[in-house]
């Protein structure tokens, strides 16, 4: 690869629009710690259009899971932006229970919400309720959900580009013909897209996939440690492992360390949060590359997208959020320990110009 020896984070500054990621995460309270401060709202200067000119606007946020560092930050950004816009936001959290998410969506439809944001979820269980909401005239905005309803606004990140960025680094680190491991789960739109890139890249590099394991639960990182540990017991000679979701990457890192293979096995993940930064920069960490967005900024941007759709000003059916790619070397060289420091070091994380208008009090880092 021609850009092989450039630090991936430096590359992302030059071409951030090409690197996109679907953020997913579950497991930490690090978002409550220093280094994840809520951004103040930039003052609105324009006149509010209907329905915002008539007082509080009722919106529901229906989440497949709000647990963990990344999603807590995403939710904090959404709540801050809703407050700045005068939105009465009701949040439903299914806690990774797909049946409950469908029930929550039904409750949101019957709550009188003028718009519903659906954050992740399985189309098979929520598509019928999405269709009901649209039929009732409710504006529906989905984040990282594949939907067949043409009236739904889709917000997402380009998982294929994100995965390729990290896998390009993996190719540089491991070379051709390496033995590798893979930790992923089928059925999630973002992870399925990343899987397609993995298959093509692994084949192009002649990598020998020694194992594939993985599952998503409400404690994904912890629950994947024994799965990856067992795989590494049988295949301790792998040079690297691709785990394209930060909770899967965290579990993989723990397994590699438990097997005392951190000097031999490199981990390539996805997403970025306070906990991820701490994990990557810890002494002896095998997690060497990731890619991500600012979850707080993304949550805020999804709410702004919803507001523009309610006001009849969006004029598009989909919105994508740019991400940056990040290496362990970059984090360490810049002394980055948390998201606030990362935002300053990588201005490309800022989404203040995405889905905005002069009447919107913009919450963005």
Q: With CA atoms as reference, report the closest residue to 26 among 300, 215, 213.
A: 215
Q: 23 or 338, which is more confident?
A: 338
Q: What are phi and psi of 91, to 5 degrees?
A: -105, 130
- The residues pairing with 143 across neighbouring beta strands, listed in sequence order, are 119, 155
Reported as a single tens digit per residue, the pLDDT across 143-152 is: 999 899 999 9
Q: Which two tokens stand for residue 177?
A: 């013909």
Distance CA 89, CA 80 (A): 10
- In this structure, are residues 193 and 160 in contact, taking their beta carbons and an 8 Å threshold? yes
Reported as a single tens digit per residue, the pLDDT across 236-266 is: 999 999 999 999 999 999 999 999 999 999 9
18 pLDDT above the threshold of 70: no
- Residues contacting 110, CB < 8 A, separation 6+: none
Distance of CA 209 to the CA centre of its chain: 25
Look over the chain and give the mean of its residue pLDDT values, rounded to a whole number. 88
- In this structure, are residues 77 and 253 in contact, taking their beta carbons and an 8 Å threshold? no
Reported as a single tens digit per residue, the pLDDT across 281-309 is: 999 999 999 988 888 999 999 999 999 99
| Residue 365 confidence (pLDDT) | 57
- Burial category of 106 from C-beta neighbours within 10 Å (exposed 0-12, middle 13-18, buried 19 and up): middle
Could you tell me the CA-to-CA distances from 257 to 26, 124, 233 in Å, in that order? 20, 37, 12
Tell me how many degrees the CA angle 263-273-280 measures, rounded to the nearest 5. Answer: 10
Mean pLDDT of the 195-212 span: 98
Q: What are phi and psi of 120, to 5 degrees?
A: 60, 175
């Amino acid at each position: 690869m021609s850009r092989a020896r450039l630090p991936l984070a430096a590359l992302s500054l030059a071409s951030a629009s090409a690197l996109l990621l679907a953020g997913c995460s579950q497991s930490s309270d690090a978002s409550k710690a220093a280094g994840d401060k809520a951004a103040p709202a930039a003052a609105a200067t324009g006149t509010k259009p209907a329905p915002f000119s008539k007082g509080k606007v009722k919106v529901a946020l229906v989440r497949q899971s709000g647990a963990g560092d990344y999603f807590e930050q995403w939710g904090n950004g959404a709540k801050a932006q809703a407050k700045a816009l005068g939105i009465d936001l009701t949040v439903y959290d299914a806690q990774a229970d797909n049946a409950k998410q469908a029930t929550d969506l039904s409750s949101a439809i019957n709550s009188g919400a003028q718009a519903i944001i659906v954050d992740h979820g399985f189309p098979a269980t929520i598509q019928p309720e999405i269709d009901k909401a649209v039929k009732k005239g409710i504006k529906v905005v989905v984040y990282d959900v594949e939907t067949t309803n043409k009236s739904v606004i889709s917000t997402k990140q380009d998982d294929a580009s994100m995965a390729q960025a990290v896998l390009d680094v993996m190719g540089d680190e491991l070379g051709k013909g390496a033995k590798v491991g893979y930790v992923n789960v089928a059925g999630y739109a973002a992870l399925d897209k990343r899987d397609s890139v993995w298959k093509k890249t692994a084949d192009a590099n002649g990598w020998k996939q020694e194992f594939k394991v993985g599952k998503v639960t409400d404690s994904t990182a912890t629950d994947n440690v024994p799965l990856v540990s067992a795989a590494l017991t049988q295949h301790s000679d792998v040079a690297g492992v691709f785990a394209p979701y930060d909770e899967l990457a965290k579990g993989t890192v723990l397994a590699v360390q438990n097997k005392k293979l951190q000097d031999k096995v490199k981990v390539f993940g996805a997403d970025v949060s306070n906990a991820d930064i701490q994990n990557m920069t810890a002494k002896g960490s095998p997690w060497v590359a990731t890619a991500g967005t600012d979850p707080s900024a993304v949550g805020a941007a999804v709410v702004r997208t919803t507001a523009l759709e309610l006001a009849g000003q969006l004029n598009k059916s989909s919105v994508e959020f740019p991400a940056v790619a990040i290496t362990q070397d970059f984090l360490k060289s810049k002394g980055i320990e948390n998201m606030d420091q990362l935002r300053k070091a990588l201005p490309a994380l800022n989404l203040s110009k995405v889905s905005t208008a002069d009447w919107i009090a913009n919450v963005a880092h």
